[in-house]
Amino acid sequence: MNPATVNQAFEALMPADAPPAGACVRIERPEPGLARLVLDPPHRRLAVLDLALMRDLERAIEVLASDNGLRAVVICGREPTSFAAGADLESLVQVQDAALALELGRYGQGIFQKLARLPVFKVAAVGGPVPGGAFELALACDRIVLADHPSTKIGLPEVLLGILPGWGGSQRLPRRIGVPAALDAILSGRLFDPRRALRAGLVDRLTWPEYLLRVAGDIAMGRTRCTPYERGAWTWIVDRNPLARAVIRRKVTEQVMAKTRGHYPAPLAVIPLILEAPSVKLEQGLEREAAALSTLMVSPQCKNLVRIFRLSEDAKRLSKLPDGREARELTSLGVVGAGVMGAGVATLAAQKGLWTRLSDVVRAPLDKALHAHRAAVAKDARRKRSPAHERNGAIDRLAVGEGLKGLSACDVVIEAVAERMDAKLSVFGELARRLPADAILATNTSSLSVDAIAAEIPSPERVVGMHFFNPVPQMPLVEVVRGAQTSTEVVHAVARLALKLGKTPVITADRAGFVVNRLLAPYLDEAARLFEAGVEVERIDRIARDFGLPMGPLELLDEVGLDIAAHAAESLEAAFGERMQASELLKRMLAAGLRGKKSGRGFYVHGKQTRQVNPDIARLRPAPSSVVTDYSEQVILDYLSMAMLNEAALLLEEQVVDGPRELDLATVFGMGFPPFRGGLLRWADSLGARDVLGRLQRICGAPDILARTNGSARFKPAPRLRAMAEANTSFHGEKS
């Protein structure tokens, strides 16, 4: 691109509320010979490396370059725990041209190179969030001093957004900590807490936030010694050894392919850059980095991953009421039911700082839950190397007890008993009598009506659904289910609680199956019908995994439990009739004693270390159909995905969630829909409404290959899809 075109493109990417030139970076002179570069953009609560700030940073560096009396520079944020939140994602999603992406990469690299080449000692004094570009800015300095504070997290998470560290990170970090450690840090996208960052060599010194500027200034001026992280002989044994690098490259590439199945190009693109960094000139490495960045930045994977990240960030706004006030903070939690789900929620809450009481009608599950809690806390403490007081605090915050005694002091009580309406009504009736009127009553139901549970409860406005997914520690989504009488204050208080627990909330209406289970049901049922029609178990699951799902549908049925899946299917069939009519396969399997992983046998036989297809499962198929059909991979994928997609369109028509953005977030975080595809509806938009309509119509007109009436109700195109195809629009309102 010629300079005029570049300038014009950069101007278009400048934030609309950008302040005048020079307002984002301040130069301070705390003592003779020392300058501070302070990132303090007036248009941002937390500094972001947008084009306005980068423009001012470059000008400030040029001012310092002409200062003959300058001896040292400290670069910092406006507060010790407020440095910068990385590069500007709003600009990133706007870039559609690879040539412009290349210029953006070179622009950032050039500014950081100007800082690195200043002929004085440079110290980065950073704290709070220091991700991506903010860390790359710090890496351009001679030393990095980090604020030792719980809010501090530092690292290079770019591969999680479908790109790579493009402002020098892929070159400077391997030079700093070595190739193996840099590969681990960049490929994992991990954000390190202060002590782990120091151990890994990402930073050179920790200090309390209140001493950050003083310590950084003393190091910069030579009054305090601060030795850099040294690799010693390992630089030559590993980092500069072609044979060692070849072995590392093969092994790491195999690991990445096993994990991503090739769907994510960013990890594969960054591996050679990291491996070659110690052996090439920095300028040459930077040019390679910019070229790789330019390709990744305009890829659909990057756009979709950034979109999912932004949706998850938007979900954090649910902690506020519609008028902007903070929702009520819940600090004490009760859980009724010490089964797998209830115990998991209780452990999570205690680890996240809430005083928690776990109750059950008998002692045995409470003892089991308490033992599991201590083991989980110990494991987490070993992983994070947490101090003893943090570990002891997480243990002390969980109390257990039989019956419902001790729950009256809780701000919120979550019911996690058996998925039977009579059991839940009994628990809620007793809780309503024992708890004060302002205590929130939440149910973890996955299929029962929140309105039905609240119907006979005094103050039904305080009854809400809080549906966690199993396993609780790993699954990031919580469906916050708003009943017809649930108050807005309660909904947002529970959303704030979900965020405090480290989960992403999505607010749903009280409809059978809510969002995730309602979409999973036709997907799982179609997989069962495909098996009945003669498609092999492993082939069905492999096609789903090749599409990008973390596990296949029959694997998932075994993992969830066939008894639980069958119960959910009955509830959905009762609510939606023929459209959710389930195959008889699960009933036959349960009658044969096959419950999935929990019983050791389902579609697979599950051993301690191995798993293989259950050889007995084929006997449960119905008699083979006389219809001969080509079960191509595309046909199988269409059966699995189109019923789910059609149900999503109906779900939107019923306004179960606010819109397609929330539904996409729920499908990624709740059912594992491939993030690189951007969610179920974003993927549908990539196909186009007319293509989707055509696939549904082909299935409706196909022979009776899956043992049901021709033109199954679940494949009858939803009115919304027909209207979209006619208008050639998408779920997200764009022209296809």
474 C-beta neighbours (distance < 10 Å), count: 8
Q: Which of 529, 524, 612 is nearest to 564 (CA)?
A: 524
Domains of the chain: 3-298 (3.90.226.10), 320-510 (3.40.50.720), 517-727 (1.10.1040.50)
pLDDT (0 to 100) of residue 237: 85
Give the tokens for residue 275: 């491996």
pLDDT (0 to 100) of residue 705: 53
Task: Return the SS3 of 175.
Answer: helix
Catalytic site residue from 294, 304, 386, 517: 517
> How large is the C-alpha radius of gyration of the chain?
28
Catalytic site residue from 82, 304, 444, 467: 467
Locate the DSSP E strands across 454-567.
463-468, 477-482, 504-509
Q: Which of 30, 230, 39, 53 is nearest to 127 (CA)?
A: 39
| Integer CA distances (angstroms), 141 to 88, 126, 162, 510, 566, in order | 21, 12, 26, 54, 59
pLDDT (0 to 100) of residue 710: 43
Query: Catalytic annotation on 446?
Result: yes
Give the tokens for residue 395: 């243990």
Q: How far apart are CA 13 and CA 26, in angstroms?
A: 23
Secondary structure (DSSP) of 293-328: HHHHHTSHHHHHHHHHHHHHHHHGGGGB-TTSPBPP
Q: In the predicted model, what is the mean pLDDT of residues 352-361?
A: 95
Between β-strands 129-131 and 153-155, what pairing exists: parallel, antiparallel or unpaired? parallel
SS3 sequence, 545-612? HHHCCCCCHHHHHHHHCHHHHHHHHHHHHHHHHHHHCCCCHHHHHHHCCCCEHHHCECCEEECCCCEE
pLDDT (0 to 100) of residue 352: 95
Whether residue 328 contacts residue 489, with contact meaning beta carbons closer than 8 Å, is answered with yes
Adjacent-strand bridge partners of 606: 611
pLDDT tens readout for residues 232-270:
777 888 888 899 999 999 999 999 999 999 999 999 999
pLDDT tens readout for residues 669-710:
999 999 999 999 999 999 999 999 999 998 887 655 554 544
The one-character DSSP state at 236 is I
The one-character DSSP state at 578 is G
Q: Which of 273, 336, 293, 46 is nearest to 163 (CA)?
A: 293
260 C-beta neighbours (distance < 10 Å), count: 16
Q: How far apart are CA 486 and CA 460, in angstroms?
A: 7
pLDDT tens readout for residues 372-388:
999 999 888 887 767 77
Catalytic site residue from 91, 304, 359, 446: 446
Q: How far apart are CA 591 and CA 144, in angstroms?
A: 64
Query: Catalytic annotation on 62?
Result: no
Residues listed for the chain: 736
Between β-strands 355-360 and 440-443, what pairing exists: parallel, antiparallel or unpaired? unpaired
Query: Catalytic annotation on 392?
Result: no
pLDDT (0 to 100) of residue 734: 63
Q: How far apart are CA 628 and CA 618, in angstroms?
A: 19
Catalytic site residue from 136, 158, 415, 479: 479
pLDDT (0 to 100) of residue 16: 86
Give the tokens for residue 484: 């017809």
Secondary structure (DSSP) of 327-391: PPPP-EEEEE--SHHHHHHHHHHHHTT-EEEEEESSSHHHHHHHHHHHHHHHHHHHHHT--HHHH
pLDDT (0 to 100) of residue 5: 80
Considering only the C-alpha atoms of the chain, give the largest distance between any 2 of them, rounded to a whole number of Å. Answer: 91
Q: In the predicted model, what is the mean pLDDT of residues 120-140?
A: 97
Between β-strands 143-147 and 121-126, what pairing exists: parallel, antiparallel or unpaired? parallel
Measured over the CA atoms of residue 219, residue 220, residue 223 and residue 227, the dihedral's sign is positive
Q: How far apart are CA 469 and CA 333, in angstroms?
A: 18
Q: In the predicted model, what is the mean pLDDT of residues 51-59?
A: 96
Query: Catalytic annotation on 584?
Result: no
pLDDT tens readout for residues 194-214:
999 999 999 999 999 999 999
Q: What's the mean pLDDT when you consider all of the chain?
A: 93
Q: Is 508 exposed, middle or buried (0-12, 13-18, 19+ CB in 10 A)?
A: buried
pLDDT tens readout for residues 630-646:
689 999 999 999 999 99
Give the tokens for residue 728: 């050639």
Whether residue 270 contacts residue 292, with contact meaning beta carbons closer than 8 Å, is answered with yes
Q: Which of 294, 84, 289 is nearest to 174 (CA)?
A: 289
Adjacent-strand bridge partners of 334: 357, 413
Specify the range with the lowest mean pLDDT, choosing from 40-44, 267-271, 453-457. 453-457
What lies within 8 Å, CB to CB, of 468 at 6+ separation is 341, 344, 345, 444, 475, 478, 503
Structure confidence at residue 629 as a pLDDT band (50, 70, 90): low
C-alpha 41, offset from chain centre: 28
190 C-beta neighbours (distance < 10 Å), count: 18
Provide the residue type at 352 as one letter: K
Q: How far apart are CA 654 and CA 636, in angstroms?
A: 28
pLDDT (0 to 100) of residue 707: 47
pLDDT (0 to 100) of residue 12: 85
Q: How far apart are CA 322 and CA 326, in angstroms?
A: 9
Q: In the predicted model, what is the mean pLDDT of residues 515-540?
A: 94
Q: How far apart are CA 94 and CA 10, in angstroms?
A: 11
Structure confidence at residue 149 as a pLDDT band (50, 70, 90): very high
Whether residue 220 contacts residue 72, with contact meaning beta carbons closer than 8 Å, is answered with yes
| pLDDT higher than 90, residue 456 | no
What lies within 8 Å, CB to CB, of 425 at 6+ separation is 453, 456
What lies within 8 Å, CB to CB, of 260 at 6+ separation is 267
Provide the residue type at 378 as one letter: A
Whether residue 43 contacts residue 80, with contact meaning beta carbons closer than 8 Å, is answered with no
| Integer CA distances (angstroms), 685 to 161, 177, 526, 539, 693, in order | 20, 43, 22, 27, 12
Give the tokens for residue 151: 């809010």
In the chain, what is the straight-line distance between the N-terminal and C-terminal CA atoms, in Å? Answer: 29
Q: Which of 399, 394, 355, 359 is nearest to 376 (CA)?
A: 394
Whether residue 585 contacts residue 538, with contact meaning beta carbons closer than 8 Å, is answered with no
Whether residue 132 contacts residue 165, with contact meaning beta carbons closer than 8 Å, is answered with yes
| pLDDT higher than 50, residue 158 | yes
Locate the DSSP E strands across 469-586.
477-482, 504-509
